[in-house]
A and B are shown apart, each in its own frame.
Chain A
């Protein structure tokens, strides 16, 4: 037995070339075989790839989907983000606990099932949802839990939970998922028909510089949220010194409320891979990496197959489309449950087999990225846009949308609306128009751009969705007239506290303090000065944090203070001057009074 696992670990390391930069793959595979990556396994891996145990352990301990202790044969990860909880995730959670007789964080005594919570798994349009190992189950309810548990107990194969397949490629043999695309509105850039390989052929007829010129003429900006001009990024990478360069696609869609990349990966995989290939040609790279978030592992076999077919069709591999001197291939790098890896430098760290820690900038990835080589990292949707730009031409693209934000944007709309799903809209649409489109005219608040974006109310509904006004990577969460705002903010803060990498103090500590103060206010123990405290501390976190996560992590507090101040002020109290309303002497002496068997002398 003990020799077996050692052989297995050695074999896994060998298959990954005993290459420590492939640590993510190594530990994932070991966990797949053994159920966890034990201390002994870490020691052995470290020896095999010639590194230190701490390097292995730092990876295993960092990612939510990796563990050094055995878990159940089946791990149920119930999504507990804001939207899922709005639609009853807590009741579902209770039902699971009752049915299994364990609490979240525990494993059934027979070692069959573990219960865990997880932040957004990209299924907010069909919430509540859970991952059962890699299998996605959607539209959960209390009533369905009994059936799920008994099915798993009789046959521990999560695939048995899928009774009815979703639409489109969700039903394909390689996906077999109950996930629905929920494509509500198709726009010209992403969802118009696209002849496979045509854009690539057009690209290869141009010089790389001309391709970059076209992307710049189209004025394409990154669709992940930050909106950096794509052509400029490519130009930097092309001009950077070094023969080996990399194209990375960021498919680590983790911003709560976002699920448009899920739909693109399911329905527009060819368009994505073609865009990556075009990028490879433009910057002079022969290797692409698709960093796929662990939550979307159910799409992996399907995506591998698309890559395989593209190789067979000559669209990937040696001399792409017969173009001598241009070799390009793409591999898939799986993530393992870490929101921070959506930040591009953290994503690169993860690809290099490290903890998902952001890196210092400069140097920017376009100069020194993956393995210190020039690297471009673009969002799934950005690459899809590139393919369309080469298909229809930059002028066609540039005149769509609004002035500073050409093209269309995919929005993932969820929450209190009649038709949650993916909408391809022209940039420049007002929030009011969007809310009408999705059936949510009565919305009390909208979270634009996920927790790291802004929470806006009706006075902002005439503002437009574009880079210069309300920027979003795609997440639009709608909150109806009866929703209480502060608990939503609290939930968002919980998310950042959970997902901080912990490297810098403002983000790691600051957000805990913000949430503490928020909860005091929610408990009716806040005073007017606390709002200044929240603003000051929030601003310090924005200013002093190291990466994009930290710099935006105070936004739920800051934007709700700005746009929903009344929700705070209505809860404030006026304590005796100079006294802290949060200090409760009765509660503080209760324990001692019980031990001593007497009451307090002072009150």
Chain B
């Protein structure tokens, strides 16, 4: 039987959660025994090739491209996991949610104290995806099956979760793995 597939992505995130995936260290060798990676920055596969058992989502949705990718994940994955603070609640990018979009752009490209922009242009190439009016947590866009909290979630938590899901056991993380304060 073919190994189950997993996919990962970083939407409006900092790749910290992906670093934490890599922090499972040498267990990544065990992981590739268990699974194949499909679409993921880890193997740099850009689009889905197969149906996946699990999709790990880092980051919330800040622009239309994030939404497209997230919906694509939903369509291709049996189980979706919001991985970390930004996917679950919007995180740091969502700090802009109380500020009108125009003000955010002006501050970032025109008025910020460290901005050097003599042409006074705000990037507007058609290749650049449009920003959403605010940053959305993933579960407001698609149905999310599991939430793995942390900034980032600990490598051990990611490992335990994946192994449990892939071996069809209940996900039962010990308290100290999900306790952060």
Contacts and interface: CB of A to CB of B under 8 A. Distances in A.
Interface centre among B65, B71, B124, B136 (most CB of A within 10 A): B71
Interface in B93-151: 101-102, 105, 122, 124, 126, 129-134, 136, 139-143
Interface centre among A578, A590, A593 (most CB of B within 10 A): A578
Given A580-B142, A591-B133, A592-B133, A598 B124 contact: yes
Given A596-B124, A600-B64, A579 B130 contact: no
A595 B132 contact: no
B74 interface: yes
Contacts of A593: 130
**What 10 pairs between A and B have smallest CB-CB spacing?**
A592-B130, A588-B132, A578-B74, A592-B131, A589-B130, A583-B141, A578-B143, A602-B68, A591-B133, A591-B101
B101 A589 contact: no
Contacts of A582: 140
27 contacts: A578-B142, A579-B74, A580-B139, A583-B67, A585-B64, A587-B133, A588-B64, A588-B133, A588-B134, A589-B131, A589-B133, A592-B131, A592-B132, A592-B133, A595-B102, A595-B105, A596-B124, A596-B130, A597-B124, A598-B124, A601-B64, A601-B65, A601-B129, A601-B130, A602-B67, A602-B68, A602-B129
Interface string B70-84: 010011000000000
A591 B105 CA distance: 12
A172 B33 CA distance: 90
Given A588-B132, A593-B130, A580 B65 contact: no
Given A579-B142, A595-B102, A595-B105, A588 B136 contact: yes
B21 to A, nearest CB: 23
Contact of A589 (B64, B122, B126): B64
A598 B133 contact: no
A532 to B, nearest CB: 13
A583 B136 contact: yes
A558 B122 CA distance: 50
Contacts of B132: 588-589, 592
A596 B140 CA distance: 25
Contacts of B134: 588
A595 B141 contact: no
Contacts of A578: 74-75, 142-143
Contacts of B74: 578-579
Size class of the B contact interface (CB-based, 8 Å)? 20 to 34
B130 to A, nearest CB: 4
A434 to B, nearest CB: 45
Contacts of B68: 602
A190 B126 CA distance: 77
Interface of B: 64-65, 67-68, 71, 74-75, 101-102, 105, 122, 124, 126, 129-134, 136, 139-143
Contacts of A598: 124, 126, 130
A593 B132 CA distance: 9
Contacts of B67: 583, 585, 588, 602
Given A595-B102, A600-B64, A583 B140 contact: yes
A208 to B, nearest CB: 55
A523 to B, nearest CB: 15
B68 to A, nearest CB: 5
B65 to A, nearest CB: 7
Contacts of B124: 596-598
Contacts of B75: 578
Contacts of A602: 64-65, 67-68, 129
Given A578-B74, A579-B143, A580-B141, A590 B133 contact: yes
Contacts of A596: 124, 130
A415 B133 CA distance: 42
Interface string A55-78: 000000000000000000000000
A512 to B, nearest CB: 15
A598 B64 CA distance: 13
A531 to B, nearest CB: 15
B130 A600 contact: yes
Contacts of B105: 595
B174 to A, nearest CB: 25
A4 B157 CA distance: 67
A294 to B, nearest CB: 35
Given A579-B74, A597-B124, A602-B68, 11 more contacts: A580-B141, A587-B133, A588-B133, A590-B133, A591-B102, A592-B130, A592-B131, A592-B133, A598-B124, A601-B130, A602-B67
Interface string A244-259: 0000000000000000
A27 B144 CA distance: 51
A580 B133 contact: no
A598 B67 CA distance: 18
A598 B71 CA distance: 23
A193 to B, nearest CB: 64
B4 to A, nearest CB: 19
Contact of B71 (A579, A589, A600): A579
A597 B124 CA distance: 9
A592 B68 CA distance: 16
A578 B126 CA distance: 29
Contacts of A580: 139-143
